[in-house]
Amino acid sequence: MPLSNRRTLTQYLIEQRRRFPGASGELNALILDVSLATKAIARAVAFGELGDPMSRELAAAARSHAAINVQGEAQKPLDVVSNEIFLRTSEWSSHLAGMASEEMEAPYQIPAQYSRGKYLLVFDPLDGSGNIDVNVAVGSIFSILRAPQEVIESGRDVTDADFLQPGTMQIAAGYAIYGPATMLVLTVGSGVAGFTLDPSLGEFKLTHPDIRVAEETQEFAINSSNSRFWESPVKRYVDECLAGKTGPRGKDFNMRWIASMVAEAHRILMRGGVFMYPRDTKDPSKPGRLRLLYEANPIGYVMEQAGGRASTGRFPVLDVQPEALHQRIGLVFGSKAEVDRIERYHQECDAGTDKPYVSPLFNERSLFRPEALT
């Protein structure tokens, strides 16, 4: 389709709104605010070490900011800059009751000079920021929830508890990826659409109108350096994939690992695959590495809307009732058949009926037949 004939994000949202004649348009306006934030972050990321002139004020604030965030992770200046961009772009519009970010310990209250609305915005402002120094694609992840009715009616400050809604309650979710091209991938509950930023116009144009995750795949993504900490079902799955055509799967698999979840999710949406960051025993105090509200739920919602699946390894991640604002969780998502298989392996392990694959290449061996040793 010629670029001039492609619908803009605004036109797409108007078309979606027509499905709900009573809709006020506030959700559309909020999503456009989010898209504006992603454009500003894309610009800041693109300047790299040159420094975005438009972000110098924010960068100065970043230099005086604590070097460690609430997650116990080292913050980069662009983490703080991206967080501030999200806040400043979205706080003024009267659509939000409050916001929560991976970079902030407590919910963000809408300043008194602005009216408050009926939505909550949850976001990871710069996912994969540890890859910035090596120029690997990074991104932003966001989720939109409806504020509890009591918050809407009273206009009170939001609390942690207001955000603790299962992923099934999301109204919209998506991510922006800052790579060779900047893309915004979005669901408003009726499939998944991808928009590419046209830098000459500053507009997101619809380039991927109905993204679907391939049901079958021959790719998986996992950090194999943690293999000694994996649970038995994960080891079983990976061993079977690595066994290739001669193993129980009967086909060769490729392994991928970018260490940027947005980039991993985008690859899977474009060509299928399965991503695993499962619960393991590396740090028994943490039930997983990824954040439920800021990462697992929005990416899970996108995957489910695209015909894929998202799971804790044992059950759908969107069904999990959050217990804390910064709760961590194990996550598996991607092609439906593979996620179904991983869940089945966990169920069989829990029931004691699993039969892990043992490769004949790595069995213990001896120069002598067993009977010769007796």
Task: Check whether residue 120 and residue 30 sit in a common domain.
Answer: yes
Check residue 153 and give its pLDDT.
Answer: 95
Domain interval for residue 114: 3-208
Residue 316 burial by CB count (10 A; 0-12/13-18/19+): exposed, middle or buried?
middle
Report d(CA 304, CA 333) in Å as an integer. Answer: 9
* Shared-domain flag, residues 278 and 236: yes
The answer on 48 and 196 residing in a single domain is yes
CB-based contact 334:274 (threshold 8 Å): yes
- Give the pair of three-digit tokens for residue 219: 């790719």
Quick count: other Cβ atoms within 10 Å of Cβ 31?
24
Q: Can you tell me the distance from the alpha carbon of 50 to that of 58, in angstroms, rounded to the nearest whole number?
A: 15
| 214, part of any domain | no
CATH number, residue 225: 3.40.190.80
Question: What CATH number should be reported for the domain holding residue 161?
Answer: 3.30.540.10
Of 184, 208, 232, which one is at a domain's C-terminal end?
A: 208
Q: Determine, yes or no, domain membership for 20.
A: yes
Residues 167 and 244 in one domain: no
Q: Are residues 233 and 183 in the same domain?
A: no
> How many whole angstroms separate alpha carbon 333 and alpha carbon 330?
10
3-class DSSP state of 89: helix
Instruction: Give a yes or no: residue 371 inside a domain.
Output: no
Q: Are residues 261 and 341 in the same domain?
A: yes
Phi/psi of residue 53, nearest 5 degrees:
-55, -35
Instruction: Report yes or no on 370 lying in a domain.
Output: no
> Residue 362 has what pLDDT?
47
Check whether residue 182 and residue 230 sit in a common domain.
no
**369 is a domain residue:** no
Residue closest to 2 by CA, chosen among 245, 231, 207, 143: 207
Q: Is residue 163 part of a domain?
A: yes
Question: How far is it, in rounded angstroms, from Cα 156 to Cα 172?
Answer: 24
Q: How many CB atoms lie within 10 A of CB 162?
A: 20
Q: Which residues of 276-301 are buried (b: 16+ CB within 10 A; e: fewer)?
A: bbbbbeeeeeeebbbbbbbbbbbbbb
Q: Among 208, 231, 264, give the residue marking a domain's end.
A: 208
Q: How many Å apart are CA 291 and CA 123, to the nearest integer?
A: 11
* In a shared domain, residues 201 and 228: no
Final residue before a domain boundary, out of 154, 180, 208:
208
Regarding whether 247 and 155 lie in a shared domain, the answer is no
**How far does CA 300 lie from the centroid of its chain?**
7
CA dihedral 300, 266, 125, 30 (to 10 degrees): -70
Domains in the chain, number: 2
Does 36 reside within a domain?
Answer: yes
* Per-run averaged pLDDT (10 residues), the chain, 374 residues: 76 88 85 97 87 60 56 75 95 96 97 96 94 88 98 96 98 96 97 96 96 95 95 97 96 94 96 95 88 98 98 97 97 97 96 80 49 46
State the CB neighbour count (10 A cutoff) for residue 179.
17
Distance CA 90, CA 100 (A): 12
Q: Are residues 271 and 131 in the same domain?
A: no
Report d(CA 331, CA 310) in Å as an integer: 7
**Do 303 and 182 belong together in one domain?**
no
From the list 13, 334, 46, the residue with the least C-alpha distance to 195 is: 13
Q: Is residue 262 part of a domain?
A: yes
In this structure, the answer to whether residues 250 and 175 fall within a common structural domain is no
Hey, what amino acid is at 241? C
